[in-house]
Structure 1
């Protein structure tokens, strides 16, 4: 599925449970597989029945797509109009809900979320329940299938057409769930299929993959390798690890940290220049977070935390972002510091960042040394090559200050250069507008650096793993 940067592109998503229930009256594998296949076939029939309902959450919009019944909308209503019922944080002057639009490259302009439900009330007379007792040894299998489908369409597409595409996607997902269930079935134990969405490099875009729930990424390496081959992806980046799952606009991260604040910035324009950026997702770590008062001494710790978050959120490592205390303990354990360093407010620099990354995460780093800040203007080629080949955030320390470099805009012909800086010295709340407008995350010129101070740059090297 290909996503392009256009306001007309719309992603329609439907989520909801379908109840999987069947009775296995035999331990025979062939017989069990046949019963499970029949159960999935019945579920696909449910999706095509008159009782399936698609609803816009937190709104009076309900749609019976298989019998052309529409509440608060009509079959010919453009999806763009249905978006107006979507609850967001933005409102117009009259207080009416407005659909939020995303314009970042590679993402959908808008996302219309629908819920999948089944109508309980059925037409006809109600019959009294009848109980029947049967003495039979059997296994009752019950599971809730977490249906989750996305389709790419346009804002001008009618809601009827979009619903038709969704029903087709749901049917296809049930077919894939059946295959996965039978493939991973152990005796009478079922592994629940788990739909996950991944945003792959252009021009592939957003794809949905089914993994068996409860099976680790390591155990799924063979399946992930097959996906790399299917989408012609290199084997040096873990695209399909669960930490890389795409977060939709209505699904904020639960830890409170901002992700990729640089993505809303406008790139500088240089004569014959190119922009080279950090690749992937990171968290912005800065002063005074996590109820730690580190104003004045913790900037390098925060820059290190941002780097660690990058490796964790790309799936290269499983370890959580270390605290200040854990960073200090790592330096003591590595033999770089003595016991009294623990609990202190002592600064660290690029060399210590390199040591901690290697000790805690097994990540190696290159150190780039400049004797004075004025030399940084000539390091465009080195930095551009780093972001092109490694894509990791860079920690730079000089004097008593530390910053994180997220990218460079550089012209090979003119030598012009701008640095994309994430400043860990920020002490406010997680306000994206303040952070970007006040320059805590922003593009800086060569004059940003102290022209006479020395600087060490720690350039983390990413592992080549799938």
Structure 2
């Protein structure tokens, strides 16, 4: 298992298939295991051979890591800094503008930049050509063939060279093949083999990014023993699902396929308070707001959207596998628990914090605490309770008051002065998924105590984490 520092400047990620091909003369399990192990050893030898090639995606850069880190173009040398490779990568913006990326470094808005490389094997060998010789041998055997999807990462700092990175990448590839072999043999039953699947998980500091290999097709519930061993190995608490597939690290250069924005708050600057500390939502959530999913809920669906954001948090942290519920599924859940009449389904009726609490429990098995505030002016005195919630539970909070609902993602609070600011995600937004507009216009932003109606009462729904591994 390879642990790398998540705070590094650039992630180098190598992906590519390696063909696992075995001729099995017997279906005897012991013999099969020996053949499979020898095949994995051959693959490890290939990675260490001069035939191994790393090609930087969207660039002309090709590296032979086992030929003295030879590379093309010739300007790339073993002592070239990893971060300097960025200037050779053609970005979409540069391509549309017709600019050569070699003349200008691509500007990254991401806090962590990623350089993607393809793992390939050189097939042709230098030397004189000779006439082919064909031999025919009739031999009955079983043939096993599958593609192993290699996916290795290393993180580099400002002064790391390509030579440094290549050495670590080759070590990571070799290690990953060893882990794949273990998983393949461990889950082998008779002549049935499961394809090993590498995943990356971002653990709390200072542990960083960790690679784990799981057998494809085996559910999370069947891998609990393996996850428990990982928790022990990395000294992690056994009440949070760090190693479930849903919690796998999402690399910052990969778009989310569902179209929802994730964690828009991360690009915001925190307000400065005298002796103030910042307490934030922990983990990943999706921003759900009016008019998404082809549902016109403008004027009535804000609490539904806040609830959807909360549900997305539990899904993306691996606590639940259920998709984020639709408005009708939320309404049906309230009918099922006896809170609403059947006519409620399909209506445009509002819901509040108590209904959000009921739906979370009904659909996800999530319990929630309710905080009652008789008037908005009292929210300014709730800094300690809110800070403690984000420190211990770390879940988004739904707050409802009057006819409005919002999502609280964090607070900045000073224990000495009592000053407080709230990080608000506003479900009333009706526009496109434009991060710049959403943050510039305050749809996701820090608000002061005056944000709340000082005379209206508020109910806050504080979802509690499930205790699971």
What TM-score does the superposition give when structure 2 sets the normalisation length?
0.94
Correspondence 1:312 to 2:337: no
From 234, 238, 241, give the equivalent of 2:241.
238
Correspondence 1:385 to 2:396: no
List runs of 5+ in structure 1 lacking aligned partners. none
Correspondence 1:427 to 2:430: yes
Counterpart-to-counterpart distance in 2, 1:290 and 1:413:
45
- The range that moved more, 400-409 or 175-184, is 175-184
Retained in 2: the 8 A contact 1:384–1:410? yes
Retained in 1: the 8 A contact 2:6–2:155? no
Counterpart-to-counterpart distance in 2, 1:396 and 1:89:
40
Counterpart-to-counterpart distance in 1, 2:35 and 2:131:
28
Task: After TM superposition, list the pairs within 5 Å mapping 1:173-212 onto structure 2.
Answer: 173-212=176-215
Retained in 2: the 8 A contact 1:90–1:100? no
Task: Give the match for residue 48 of structure 1.
Answer: 48
Task: Give the match for residue 71 of structure 2.
Answer: 70
Counterpart-to-counterpart distance in 2, 1:175 and 1:257:
37
Retained in 2: the 8 A contact 1:5–1:103? no
Provide, for residues 351-376 of structure 1, a one-character-per-residue CA deviation record: whole Å limited to 9, x for no partner.
11111111111111111111110010
Counterpart-to-counterpart distance in 2, 1:221 and 1:195:
17
Task: After TM superposition, list the pairs within 5 Å mapping 1:13-28 onto structure 2.
Answer: 13-28=13-28
From 5, 11, 31, give the equivalent of 1:3.
5
Task: Give the match for residue 272 of structure 1.
Answer: 275
Counterpart-to-counterpart distance in 2, 1:2 and 1:62:
24
Matched residue pairs, number? 459
Task: After TM superposition, list the pairs within 5 Å mapping 1:5-404 onto structure 2.
Answer: 5=7, 9-68=9-68, 69-72=70-73, 73-88=76-91, 95-97=99-101, 98-101=105-108, 104=111, 109-124=112-127, 125=129, 127-128=131-132, 130-136=134-140, 138-404=141-407
Provide, for residues 388-445 of structure 1, a one-character-per-residue CA deviation record: whole Å limited to 9, x for no partner.
1111100000111000000111111111010000000001111111111110000000
Change (3 A) 1:87 1:365: farther
Q: What stretches of structure 1 move > 6 A for 4+ residues in a row?
A: none
Compute the displacement of 1:133 (Å).
3.7
- The range that moved more, 347-356 or 109-118, is 109-118
From 395, 406, 409, give the equivalent of 2:412.
409
From 446, 455, 458, give the equivalent of 1:452.
455
Compute the displacement of 1:259 (Å).
0.4
SS in 2 for 1:407: strand
What TM-score does the superposition give when structure 1 sets the normalisation length?
0.95
List runs of 5+ in structure 2 lacking aligned partners. none
SS in 2 for 1:218: helix
RMSD, matched Cα: 1.8
Change (3 A) 1:258 1:127: farther
Counterpart-to-counterpart distance in 2, 1:432 and 1:15:
29
Retained in 2: the 8 A contact 1:139–1:188? no
Retained in 1: the 8 A contact 2:21–2:146? yes
Change (3 A) 1:205 1:99: farther
Counterpart-to-counterpart distance in 2, 1:270 and 1:305:
31
